[in-house]
Chains A and B, each alone.
Chain A
C-alpha cells in the first residue's frame, strides 16, 4: 500500500503545493527582508502597492505583507498541526477504549461525546476564548477540546468491526494484555483512517482558526496570522486589495491542497 499507487492528479498537485508552502514557511527567516511585526518607516512606506521592494505590498503601518504572510502561515500551520495531532491521540484512545470494551462503558463514553458535539464548535470556542483569554496556547487547547470527538467516533466504529476479526480474537485467546492488544494490534490498523481524517480535519482547523482570528478573538496583534491580516485589510478593500488578497490566497491554497491530499488518500483506502 504505497502512496505511489494514488493516481489522482489532484492528490499530487495538492501534495506539491503543500510541500512548497511548508518549504517557504519553514525557511521564511532566510527569505524575508523585513521583520513582520516591525513598522518600516510608516510615513513613507504606508499602503504601498506590490513592487520589487515590497513584493506583496505593505499594510497601514508600513509592514511588509510578504513577510507577514509567511510568519502568519507559521502560526496557522503550527496551531493546525498541534490541534490535529492532539485530537488524533486523545480521540484514538478514547474511541478505541470505548469500542473495545463495549457495554455500559461504551454507552457512557459515547453519550458524553454526543453531549459535546451538540455545542456548535465556534460558539464553544468563542465562549472559552472570551472567558479564559486568547492567545496561541489557548487556541490550541480550545480547538483540541472541541475537535477530538469526531476522531473518537470514527475510531470506535472502526474498532467495533476490527475486534470481531480473527487476529484480534486470536490475540485475546493468546492471553495478551488489553493495553498491548489496543496499542500493538488495533491502533496500527486504524492509523490510515485517522491519518486521512486528520489531513482533511487540518483544513477545517485552519478555516476555524482564521475565522476566529478574523473576528478578533484568535491570534492577537501585532502577531500576524492569516485571519487577522484579512481583518486588518478589509477596511481598505476596494483600493488597497493586496493586504487582503495575499493572506486570503495563502489560506485558500493551504486548505485546498490539504483537501486534495485527503481525498486522494481516501481513494487509497477504498
Chain B
C-alpha cells in the first residue's frame, strides 16, 4: 500500500512537471493570441486592451498560475478556430480515440503473444524464421503506409469496408444493433493497422523471452523428467515468458497515441489525433495545450497500471 501511495505521489509530481513544460513551450512560442485579430482595421491600442483582458501581457509565473487554476477547475479554454469550449471538443474526441486504442491494444496483445509464442518455440524451424522476418517487416512498416495499403485493398479493390469516418450517413434508420454493426465495419481497418503494428512489436518481445526461458535449467529439468510438451510449455514456460507483457502496456500508451494520431488522420476518425491535426493547421493553441495534457495523463496512468499489474502478477516484485 505504501508503495502504491509513493508511486501515485511521484506520478503527480511528474504530471506537474509536464504541465509546466507544456505551458512554457507555449509561452516561449513567437507571437501571442491577439495575432489572430491583427488587421489594418484594428487599432494598436485596442490590441493592447485585448492583451490585458486575455492576460497574455503578464509575466511567466502569473500566466502559469492563471492557466493552472483554470485547468484545475476544468476550464480548458476556448478553441480559436472552432469557437467552442475545448472541453466540449475533447468530450467528443476522447471516447473515439479510446475505442480505437483499447480495441487495438487487445488485438495487439492477443495476436502478438500467440505469434510470439509460436515463433519462439519454433525458432529453429523454417516457420519460426519466416515469422521472425514477417514480424520485423511489419514492425518496419510506416503506420500510414499500412493504412493506405489496407484502404487500397479492402475499400478500393474489394469494396467491402468503408475507407473513412466513424459512422455512415443514415436517414431515418436507427437502433442499437444497426449503429453497432456500422461502427464495427468502420473500426476494422483503423484497428487492424494499429493492432498489427503493435502485435509485431509484442510478438518480437515475447519471442525473445520464450527463447531465453526455454534455455533455462528448470525447463531442461522438465524435459529430463519426461513431461509432455504441452505440460512443459503451458505449465512452466509461458507463465514466466508472458509476465513482461504486462509491462508492455505502459510502454504502448505513448506509442499507441502517436500511431493513433496518424491513423485518425488517414481514416478521418474524429478522435484526439484528428483534433490535434486540425489544431496544428489552424494554430489553435488552447486545443493543442489541452490535448498534450490529456495525452500525458493517459501515458502516466498507463505507466501506473502496468506497474501495478506487474506487482500483482509477479509476487517476487511485491516482496522486494
Tell me the A residues contacting B by CB distance below 8 Å.
Answer: 10, 111, 114-115, 117-124, 126-132, 203, 207, 210-211, 214-217, 227, 230, 234, 237-238, 241, 244, 248, 251-252, 255-256, 258-260, 263
Contacts and interface: CB of A to CB of B under 8 A. Distances in A.
A207 B142 contact: yes
Contacts of B154: none
B137 interface: yes
Given A118-B303, A131-B25, A256-B137, A126 B144 contact: no
A237 B156 contact: yes
Given A126-B280, A131-B25, A120 B257 contact: yes
B145 A248 contact: yes
B17 interface: yes
Nearest to A217: B280
B276 A244 contact: no
B265 A215 contact: yes
B57 to A, nearest CB: 19
Binding site of B, secondary structure by majority: helix, strand, loop or mixed? helix
B136 A263 contact: yes
A216 B278 CA distance: 11
Interface string B9-47: 000001001100110011011100000000000000000
Given A114-B14, A119-B292, A217-B280, A211 B137 contact: no
B156 A123 contact: no
Given A127-B288, A214-B262, A215-B265, A118 B296 contact: yes
B249 to A, nearest CB: 15
Contacts of A234: 148, 266
Interface of B: 14, 17-18, 21-22, 25-26, 28-30, 133, 136-137, 139-145, 148, 151-152, 156-157, 253-255, 257-258, 261-262, 265-266, 276-277, 279-281, 283, 288, 291-292, 295-296, 299-300, 303
B48 to A, nearest CB: 23
A259 B152 CA distance: 26
Given A119-B254, A210-B142, A263-B136, 19 more contacts: A10-B133, A115-B21, A118-B296, A119-B295, A120-B253, A120-B299, A121-B254, A122-B258, A126-B288, A128-B25, A131-B30, A132-B30, A214-B142, A227-B144, A230-B145, A238-B152, A238-B156, A248-B145, A256-B140
Contacts of B291: 123
Majority secondary structure of chain A interface residues (helix, strand, loop or mixed)? helix
A111 B136 CA distance: 32
B19 to A, nearest CB: 11
Contacts of A248: 142, 145, 148
B145 A251 contact: yes
A6 to B, nearest CB: 15
A248 B17 CA distance: 39
A69 B255 CA distance: 28
B136 A259 contact: yes
B300 A118 contact: yes
B140 A252 contact: yes
Nearest to B208: A266
Contact of B148 (A124, A127, A244): A244
A119 B254 CA distance: 7
B88 to A, nearest CB: 21
Given A119-B296, A260-B136, A252 B145 contact: yes
Nearest to B255: A120
Contacts of A260: 136
Contacts of B254: 117-121
A226 to B, nearest CB: 9
13 contacts: A120-B258, A122-B261, A124-B292, A130-B280, A131-B30, A210-B142, A211-B143, A211-B262, A227-B144, A251-B145, A252-B141, A255-B141, A260-B136
Nearest to B151: A237
Q: Which of A207, A248, A256 has the most CB of B within 10 A?
A: A207
B260 to A, nearest CB: 9
B148 A230 contact: yes
Nearest to B11: A118
Contacts of A256: 136-137, 140
